[in-house]
Amino acid sequence: MPLRLTNKQRILNTFARKKTDRINFSPRLYYWYLGNKLYLKRNVEKHLKSEIPERFLRKSQLEIYKSLGVSPRYTLETLYLPLIDFNINPDANIQVINQAGSKSGETITKYKTPLGNLTQKTAIGGGLSGHYTEFPVKSVEDMKIMRYILENTECFYLSENYEKAEEQLGDIGVVSTYIESSPYQRIVKTTIGFVRTVLLLKRNPNEVEKFMKFLEEWDDKMYELIAKSPIQIINFGENIDANLSPPPQFEKYLIPYYKKRVNQLHRAGKYCHIHIDGSFRDLLPYLADLPFDGLEALTPKPQGDVSLEELKNAIGDKILLDGIPSILFLPEYSVNYVREYTQNVLEMFSPNLILGISDELSPNGDIRKVEMIAEMIKTFQP
Give the pLDDT score at 273: 98
Task: Say yes or no: 78 and 107 in one domain.
Answer: no
Summarised one tens digit per residue, pLDDT across range 95-147 is 999 999 888 888 999 999 999 999 999 998 655 668 899 999 999 999 999 99
Give the pLDDT score at 146: 98
Summarised one tens digit per residue, pLDDT across range 14-70 is 999 999 999 999 999 999 999 999 999 888 988 888 899 999 999 999 999 999 999
354 and 13 Cβ atoms separated by less than 8 Å: no
Give the pLDDT score at 130: 80
> Of 135, 151, 167, at which residue does a domain stop?
151
Task: Say yes or no: 179 and 283 in one domain.
Answer: yes
With respect to residue 1, please indicate whether it lies within any of the assigned structural domains: no
Distance CA 368, CA 193 (A): 38
With respect to residue 2, please indicate whether it lies within any of the assigned structural domains: no
pTM (predicted TM-score): 0.95
Task: Say yes or no: 72 and 97 in one domain.
Answer: no
Overall number of domains in the chain? 2
Angle in degrees, CA 211, 106, 44, rounded to 5:
125
Distance CA 319, CA 202 (A): 37
294 and 262 Cβ atoms separated by less than 8 Å: no
CA proximity to 222, closest of 185, 177, 273: 177
Task: Say yes or no: 68 and 96 in one domain.
Answer: no
Give the pLDDT score at 127: 54
- Would the pLDDT of 305 be above 70? yes
Summarised one tens digit per residue, pLDDT across range 277-297 is 999 999 999 999 999 999 999
List of long-range contacts for 47-52, beta carbons under 8 Å, 24+ apart: 49/362, 49/363, 49/364, 50/331, 50/363, 50/364, 50/365, 50/366, 51/366, 52/367
Task: Say yes or no: 39 and 124 in one domain.
Answer: no
With respect to residue 179, please indicate whether it lies within any of the assigned structural domains: yes
Distance CA 326, CA 310 (A): 19
Distance CA 47, CA 61 (A): 17
Distance CA 346, CA 341 (A): 9
How many other CB atoms sit within 10 Å of the CB of residue 238?
24
> Of 104, 128, 151, at which residue does a domain stop?
151
Task: Say yes or no: 26 and 168 in one domain.
Answer: yes
Task: Say yes or no: 192 and 341 in one domain.
Answer: yes
Give the pLDDT score at 41: 83
- Would the pLDDT of 324 be above 80? yes
Task: Say yes or no: 214 and 74 in one domain.
Answer: yes
Q: Which residues form the domain of 271?
A: 7-86+156-376
Residue 378 is classified by DSSP as: T
With respect to residue 316, please indicate whether it lies within any of the assigned structural domains: yes
Dihedral sign of CA atoms 49, 51, 53, 54 in order: positive
Dihedral sign of CA atoms 283, 287, 293, 294 in order: positive
Greatest extent of the chain over all pairs of C-alpha atoms, in Å: 69
Distance CA 104, CA 84 (A): 30
**Percent above pLDDT 90 for the chain:** 92
The CATH number that applies at residue 36 is 3.20.20.210
Give the pLDDT score at 105: 83
**Which alpha helices (DSSP H) does the chain contain, by range?**
7-16, 30-35, 61-68, 75-78, 140-151, 159-169, 183-186, 194-203, 205-228, 247-249, 255-267, 284-287, 308-315, 335-349, 367-376
Task: Say yes or no: 56 and 177 in one domain.
Answer: yes
Summarised one tens digit per residue, pLDDT across range 163-195 is 999 999 999 999 999 999 999 999 999 999 999
Task: Say yes or no: 161 and 307 in one domain.
Answer: yes
> Of 151, 167, 202, at which residue does a domain stop?
151
With respect to residue 381, please indicate whether it lies within any of the assigned structural domains: no
Q: Is 256 left (phi over 0), alpha (psi -120 to 50) or beta?
A: alpha
Mean pLDDT, range 149-165, rounded to an integer: 98
Task: Say yes or no: 94 and 238 in one domain.
Answer: no
- Average pLDDT over the chain reads 96
Task: Say yes or no: 338 and 287 in one domain.
Answer: yes
